[in-house]
Structure 1
Amino acid sequence: MDHLARRIRVRAEAVLTPLGLRPRHLITLTMLRDGGGCSQQTLAGRLEMDGTNVVGLLNDLEKLGLVERRRSPEDRRRHVVELTDAGDERLAKAELALAGVEDEVLGALDGKQRQALYDLLRQAASGAIPGWSETGHGACVEAARDC
């Protein structure tokens, strides 16, 4: 498993770099697409990252024009983070590139076998990480399997 994970990670980084993305960017963009916009604090919780680190991550993505931060109309002290159209397009390109990586690394498995692998990995993650499904991490399993 470790060998496959390293191989996927190296290949994923190779196809993400020309898109200006890193795996943590991909996971963030995927969470914003799948879960909609949210506050920086909520995003930090979902990513299980310190708020200061999330600010740096969002600075990277905002410089690329992939996310937008706005003051919350309900609470001016909070920022709402949303995926931009450019972010959605870049994410689609990244997912297409990562599908090629998946085909390369998991080419010995047919579609049914791959689905069984993903199902087993989801099950293992939900048992190994307390609160996995309750905290919304199930939505990012799809992104995590690609990077």
Structure 2
Amino acid sequence: MTDEPPAADQFHPSGLLRHPTYALGKLHKGIHAKLETPLREHWVLTYLAERAEVSQQEMANAMEIDRSEVVRLIDSLEKAGLVTRTRDPEDRRKYRLAITAAGERLRAQTDIKILEATDVLLARLTPAERQTLHRLSLKALGFDSDEI
């Protein structure tokens, strides 16, 4: 990982740069490019770390993605030994998902990589500006940064 933020001299249509969502999307892609783990897998592991056992449907709802995509994600994570999938004893048609110790280790390692990549991508901002960017992003999404 380079210690330099990405160059701003690449061409980006000003019509796109006027949209905050475009700029935030570019930051998201910048983080994604620096990680060795797909972000969606990290999101699943983080959700499971905070929620213990959940159903695949709960995961699909929380991630706001199609249930079939959750199945593919969980298949991959289960094969890697990062997640367990067991039948729900109350409803045998459902699966319960849980993070494994290996999944928790990967989640923690990826958190560190995300923080490091964020430092590089936001190097042009002061610590106060970074806090403001995060606080305003959360506010736009309907969250209070004091509750996180």
Q: Deviations over 1:13-49 (max 9, x none)?
A: 34322xxx21111111111112222011111111112
2:53 corresponds to 1:42 = no
CA distance in 2, matches of 1:47, 1:119: 21
Q: Deviations over 1:33-72 (max 9, x none)?
A: 1222201111111111221111011111111111110111
Deviation at residue 3 of structure 1 after TM alignment: 4.4
In the alignment, is the contact (CA less than 8 A) between 1:4 and 1:105 conserved in 2? no
2:138 alignment partner, one of 122, 127, 130: 122
2:104 corresponds to 1:85 = no
Q: Percent identity?
A: 33
TM-score (norm 2): 0.75
| 2:78 equivalent in structure 1 | 62
For structure 2, the residue ranges without an aligned partner over 5 or more in a row are: 1-19
In the alignment, is the contact (CA less than 8 A) between 1:8 and 1:105 conserved in 2? no
TM-score (norm 1): 0.75
Larger RCO: Structure 1 or Structure 2 (Cα < 8 Å, ≥ 6 residues apart)? Answer: 1
2:93 corresponds to 1:73 = no
Which SS does the other structure have where 2:123 is aligned? coil
Greater Rg over alpha carbons, structure = 2
| 1:9 equivalent in structure 2 | 29
| 1:145 equivalent in structure 2 | none
Q: What is the RMSD of the two structures over their aligned residues, measured on CA atoms?
A: 2.0
For structure 1, the residue ranges without an aligned partner over 5 or more in a row are: 127-132, 143-147
Q: Which runs of 4+ in 1 moved over 4 A?
A: none
| 2:47 equivalent in structure 1 | 31
In the alignment, is the contact (CA less than 8 A) between 1:70 and 1:80 conserved in 2? yes
Normalized per residue, the structure richer in helix is: 1
Equivalent pairs, count? 125
Q: Which AA in structure 2 matches 1:56?
A: R
CA distance in 1, matches of 2:88, 2:107: 25
